[in-house]
Copies of this chain bind each other. A is one copy, B any other.
Amino acid sequence: MRAARYYANSDIRIEEIPEPTVGAGEVGVEVAWCGICGTDLHEYKDGPIFCPRPDIPHPISGEAAPITLGHEMSGVVYAVGDGVDDITVGQHVVVEPYIIADDVDTSSDDYHLSKDMNFIGLAGRGGGLGEKLAVKRRWVHPIADSIPLDQAALIEPLAVGYHAFQRSGAAAGDFALVGGVGPIGLLLSAVLKAEGLTVAVSDMSGLRREKALGAGADHAFDPREIDVAQAVRDLTGGRGADVAFECTSVQPAMDTLVDALAPRGVLVVVSIWGQRGSFDMQQVVLKELDVRGTIAYVNSHPATIKLVEDGKVNLAPFITGKIGLEGLIDEGFDTLIHRNETAVKILVSPSGAGLGG
């Protein structure tokens, strides 16, 4: 079968590799669609970060580079291993792509923070940019046939937004400010709207602001044109935002969120920062703010899938491209790196079947 294999920085190859063996307790998934994630781009441009080097196998997967890429996948079950009796061939599924040590209690609420945690499609165990993969039953989530498989590939990044919402402790009626509406900020905004919050976004890109408004955001601000924190206070009777979400890893954008928060407000840091971030500590202390990190998802998939099944989040508008494996670098990565205002999510059909070819 064909797969996109990460060898090293700037070295991803489309190769023929053996099909996986579906072992006991595993589910064989034929990938329908796999999204390209910002993390994949980082591995390509600046990596390896999550990916193992060729000489240092990942401590849990035991695999070293090259590994198959892709962790935002939907697919169809083509085989079930011994002992798997609650899922059937033909079922539509998405994968919660965790690589987690065997001794971790995956019914806990913090399994995603366990030692050496990593991701299928970044540190081994196959990936969504290959035609098939074998996944432990625990990480396979069936979805209703009513969700188109292309949209289903966006459930993984939507779960990132859902978990950020969970971390915020926000509830219906709260006022949220989202700083930066790249793919995660957009999907997060859609979750917040679905959960009944008022949503304002701030982004320098007019195209991204338009997309956010199209996805249901109530307000979209250009931070170069207006004082965003003051605009939020004006909209909240002088109080400020209840919650804010940092999706830029840019210092001035984070400062704006801190300034916009009400007393006891919560700032959730969603983006992965390559540098240190600083805070006006007087505001943190005198407003008793709460700055919370969030990473990936934990027990988030069932609720996230339900949002989509119930029609509360429409994922169709976020799909801005569909390609085959052969176009991964030239059409996929290059578009996302160089035209990241118009492109949101580009989906890959590893077998090409989804492209009607």
The smallest C-beta distance from A171 to any residue of chain B, in angstroms, reads 17
Residue-wise, chain A 292-314 has the 8 Å CB interface mask toward B (1 for contact) of: 11110000000000000000000
| Interface size range on A against B | 20 to 34
Tell me, yes or no, whether A287 is within 8 Å of chain B by CB: yes
Beyond known contacts A113-B263, A272-B285, A273-B282: 8 more, CB 8 A cutoff: A113-B286, A113-B288, A269-B281, A277-B284, A283-B293, A288-B292, A288-B293, A291-B291
With CB as the reference atom, state the residue of chain B lying closest to A264.
B110
Q: Are B290 and A292 in contact (CB under 8 A)?
A: yes
The answer to whether A294 and B285 touch (CB under 8 A), given A264-B110, A276-B280, is yes
Tell me, yes or no, whether A167 is within 8 Å of chain B by CB: yes
With CB as the reference atom, state the residue of chain B lying closest to A115.
B238
B contact residues around A285 at 8 Å (CB): 269-273, 293-295
The smallest C-beta distance from A194 to any residue of chain B, in angstroms, reads 23
The smallest C-beta distance from A266 to any residue of chain B, in angstroms, reads 9
With CB as the reference atom, state the residue of chain B lying closest to A288.
B293
With CB as the reference atom, state the residue of chain B lying closest to A286.
B295
Tell me, yes or no, whether A146 is within 8 Å of chain B by CB: no
Tell me, yes or no, whether A249 is within 8 Å of chain B by CB: yes
The smallest C-beta distance from A67 to any residue of chain B, in angstroms, reads 20
- Chain A residues 21-76 with CB under 8 Å of chain B are none
B contact residues around A286 at 8 Å (CB): 113, 293, 295
With CB as the reference atom, state the residue of chain B lying closest to A255.
B276
Q: Are A282 and B272 in contact (CB under 8 A)?
A: yes
Q: List 10 A-B contacts (CB under 8 A).
A: A110-B263, A110-B288, A167-B288, A273-B281, A277-B279, A284-B291, A285-B295, A287-B293, A290-B291, A290-B293
B contact residues around A279 at 8 Å (CB): 276-279
